[in-house]
């Protein structure tokens, strides 16, 4: 097995990994950096981000205090207030750095930034580049990182497992307290190597692909969280999976196209199959309530109408404005045969964001020494039980910066171990890929049925049973083999179990987590209000 030494190993090339690398490699030009990514470097959740970045400046209409309040309200009592304050306060500086790095944000006719509105925000504060903000960031950052002489990017290189004390001869065995890099599968060479590093950064993104319907990139299979958990790192809040209310409804897609919340920010409204609006029954903020409320309201309307999708009505927005703000959405709808200026867009909630992850402190340090985590794979305390729209890119930038500052300070005290044990599994071609695909589809279905928008104890326990069985069968049949599809499936199953185990332990509903056994009255209250309203209408008629 080949062993490569690097000072810094960054796992992931989305906004978190690239931003960390750019800052740290500039600060330490004499050190070596290796960035690995599972697919093409650009493929990530970052590249699909539409709405933008929530940053609040002190103006007539907005203030950091208002942003803090909105974030805490969305997080439903489970945010870490100190972290929320810190992230909101550090946002403007990170935004300025992005702009310095060449990232462009839209401006209005007066030359001022064009700030968009999204659900749960009390002011327009979303900096955006039309509806392709993520792609703009990804492209610009990647181009900068590629130019750094001390950075090597390895694509189609999947981290399989983190290297801890257990694999380093002479170190304390059976005590996984320090991280020394990762074993990596080079997909094109079909080979496993060890990347030994002094500092390792997990920036592996989210978990959406463990569900049947998701807005997430193909790379979002929970790898970083699963690896960290196997290595003994502390994982937190995995039950808090956020569903985006409005993904374009299309059958049999591995990724559902997103219809940005900024569209509702411009005045679009949700309608049921009868053409009636309904958000007024669920929240005073109507279509701009926080995501958990809007997504559950849609779920409830879908159940009531026995249909598979509802509608987003954008016809009140001027066609010119719509095309200017949402060119990607217009292009995608056109491909699907929909003209949003004349027809309503069929939408459905879709798994979108993992609010939990690898637990970190305010510097992005995890519970394993020399292992940092930032971006969607980290649980920093910002989101609590529900992420406020467009706070994710903000969190990734602020924490990539914090990880960078802290690791620059610490690197001189950390040594590279130099030698590592061979990885226990070997690359082998798969004899039965169809079987793996079956396991994968079964696990996705189980997750979607088990812990969707509304869950209950029976569903969670049933899910745990099925997924544990799939895991056992996989182990029995493929225990000694390593292969791209297998490692993804193993990580997906470990992620599933982390989500379900956290779900089964929760005694209280909060934010995006809703177990109907715990809060049956809340559903009934909505139903009662609706029936009352219908009765009133009947009386009025």
Residues marked active site are found at 291
The conformational region for residue 181 under phi > 0 = left, psi -120 to 50 = alpha, else beta, is left
Given ligand FAD, ligand SIN, none, residue 13, with its beta carbon under 5 to 8 Å by kind, binds: ligand FAD
Q: Does 256 bind ligand SIN (CB under 6 A)?
A: no
By CB under 6 A, name the one of 25, 36, 98, 268 that touches ligand FAD.
36
In angstroms, the CA 432 to CA 501 distance is 30
Q: Which of 42, 8, 255 is nearest to 156 (CA)?
A: 42
Q: Does 348 bind ligand SIN (CB under 6 A)?
A: no
The nearer residue to ligand FAD, 347 or 466, going by C-beta atoms, is: 347
By CB under 6 A, name the one of 13, 46, 165, 260 that touches ligand SIN.
260
By CB under 6 A, name the one of 6, 13, 229, 290 that touches ligand FAD.
13
Element (H, E) at 520: helix 520-540
In angstroms, the CA 341 to CA 313 distance is 9
By CB under 6 A, name the one of 9, 12, 228, 340 that touches ligand FAD.
12
**Count of residues making up the chain:** 541
In angstroms, the CA 163 to CA 186 distance is 16
By CB under 6 A, name the one of 43, 62, 261, 287 that touches ligand SIN.
261
Q: Does 376 bind ligand SIN (CB under 6 A)?
A: no
Q: Does 52 bind ligand FAD (CB under 6 A)?
A: yes
Given ligand FAD, ligand SIN, none, residue 400, with its beta carbon under 5 to 8 Å by kind, binds: none
The conformational region for residue 269 under phi > 0 = left, psi -120 to 50 = alpha, else beta, is beta
In whole angstroms, the minimum distance from the beta carbon of 246 to ligand SIN comes to 7
Stretch that binds ligand FAD, among 392-400, 401-409, 450-458, 511-519 (CB under 6 A): 392-400
Q: How many residues sit in the footprint of ligand SIN (CB under 6 A)?
A: 8
Cα radius of gyration rounded to whole Å, the chain:
23
Q: Which of 114, 78, 133 is nearest to 502 (CA)?
A: 78
In whole angstroms, the minimum distance from the beta carbon of 53 to ligand SIN comes to 9
Q: Does 179 bind ligand SIN (CB under 6 A)?
A: no
User: Distance from first CA to last CA of the chain, Å, rounded?
Assistant: 78
In whole angstroms, the minimum distance from the beta carbon of 204 to ligand FAD comes to 4
Binding mask 178-207 for ligand FAD (x = CB under 6 A): -------------------------xxxx-
Q: Does 136 bind ligand SIN (CB under 6 A)?
A: no
In whole angstroms, the minimum distance from the beta carbon of 132 to ligand SIN comes to 10
Q: Does 384 bind ligand FAD (CB under 6 A)?
A: no
- DSSP secondary structure string for all residues of 185-213: EETTTTEEEEEEEEEEEE-----GGGSSS
Stretch that binds ligand FAD, among 36-44, 309-317, 510-518, 525-533 (CB under 6 A): 36-44
In whole angstroms, the minimum distance from the beta carbon of 312 to ligand SIN comes to 12
In angstroms, the CA 474 to CA 466 distance is 12
Given ligand SIN, ligand FAD, none, residue 45, with its beta carbon under 5 to 8 Å by kind, binds: ligand FAD
Q: Does 492 bind ligand FAD (CB under 6 A)?
A: no
The nearer residue to ligand FAD, 9 or 464, going by C-beta atoms, is: 9
Q: Which of 184, 186, 146, 155 is nearest to 37 (CA)?
A: 155
Tokens of 44: 């990530």
In angstroms, the CA 321 to CA 493 distance is 44
Q: Give me the helices (H) in 28-171, please.
A: 64-74, 81-100, 133-147
Contact at 8 Å (CB) between 396 and 354? Answer: no
By CB under 6 A, name the one of 193, 201, 368, 389 that touches ligand SIN.
389
Contact at 8 Å (CB) between 52 and 262? Answer: yes
Binding positions for ligand FAD, rule: CB under 6 A: 11-17, 36-39, 44-46, 48-53, 133-134, 158-159, 203-206, 215-217, 219-220, 223-224, 258, 353, 375-377, 390-393, 396
């Amino acid at each position: 097995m080949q062993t490569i030494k690097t000072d810094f190993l960054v796992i992931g090339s989305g906004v978190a990994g690239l931003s960390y690398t750019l800052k740290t490699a500039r600060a330490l030009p004499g050190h070596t950096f290796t960035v690995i990514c599972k697919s093409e470097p650009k493929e990530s959740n970052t590249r699909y981000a539409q709405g933008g970045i929530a940053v609040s400046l002190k103006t007539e209409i907005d203030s950091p205090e208002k942003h803090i309040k909105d974030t805490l309200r969305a997080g439903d009592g489970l945010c870490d207030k100190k972290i929320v304050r810190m992230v909101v306060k550090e946002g403007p500086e990170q935004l300025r750095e992005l702009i310095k790095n060449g990232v462009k944000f839209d401006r209005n006719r007066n030359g001022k930034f064009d700030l968009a509105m999204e659900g749960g925000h009390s002011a327009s504060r979303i900096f955006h580049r039309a509806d392709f903000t993520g792609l703009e960031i990804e492209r610009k950052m990647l181009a900068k990182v590629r130019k750094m002489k001390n950075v090597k990017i390895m694509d189609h290189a999947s981290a399989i497992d983190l290297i801890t004390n257990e694999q380093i001869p002479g170190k304390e065995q059976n005590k996984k307290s320090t991280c020394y890099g990762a074993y990596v599968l080079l997909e094109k060479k079909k080979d496993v190597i060890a990347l030994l590093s002094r500092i390792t950064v997990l920036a592996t993104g989210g978990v959406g692909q463990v569900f049947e319907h998701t807005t997430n990139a193909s790379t979002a299979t929970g790898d970083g969280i699963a690896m960290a958990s196997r290595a003994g790192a502390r994982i937190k809040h995995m039950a808090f999976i956020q569903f985006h209310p409005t993904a374009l409804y299309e059958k049999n897609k591995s990724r559902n196209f997103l219809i940005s919340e900024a569209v509702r920010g411009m005045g679009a409204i949700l309608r049921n199959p009868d053409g009636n609006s309904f958000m007024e029954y669920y929240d005073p903020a109507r279509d701009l309530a926080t995501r958990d409320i809007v997504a559950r309201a849609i779920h409830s309307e879908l159940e009531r109408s026995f249909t598979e999708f509802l509608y987003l009505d954008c016809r009140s927005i001027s066609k010119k404005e719509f095309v200017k703000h949402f060119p990607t959405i217009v292009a995608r709808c056109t491909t699907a045969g929909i003209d949003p200026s004349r027809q309503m867009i069929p939408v459905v909630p879709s798994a979108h964001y993992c609010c939990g992850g690898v637990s970190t402190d305010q510097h992005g340090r995890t519970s394993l020494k020399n292992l940092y985590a930032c971006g969607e794979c980290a649980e920093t305390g910002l989101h609590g039980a529900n992420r406020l729209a467009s706070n994710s890119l903000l969190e990734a930038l602020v924490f990539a910066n914090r990880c960078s500052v802290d690791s620059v300070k610490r690197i001189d005290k950390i040594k590279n171990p130099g030698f590592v044990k061979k990885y226990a599994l070997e690359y082998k071609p798969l004899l039965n890929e169809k079987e793996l695909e079956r396991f994968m589809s079964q696990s996705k279905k189980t997750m979607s049925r088990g812990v969707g928008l509304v869950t209950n104890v029976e569903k969670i326990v049933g899910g745990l049973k099925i997924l544990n069985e799939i895991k056992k069968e996989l182990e029995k049949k493929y225990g000694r083999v390593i292969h791209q599809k297998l490692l993804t499936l193993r990580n997906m199953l470990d992620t599933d179990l982390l989500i379900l185990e956290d779900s089964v332990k929760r005694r209280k509903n909060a934010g995006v987590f809703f177990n109907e056994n715990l809060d049956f009255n809340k559903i009934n209250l909505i139903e009662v209000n609706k029936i009352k309203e219908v009765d009133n209408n009947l009386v009025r008629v």
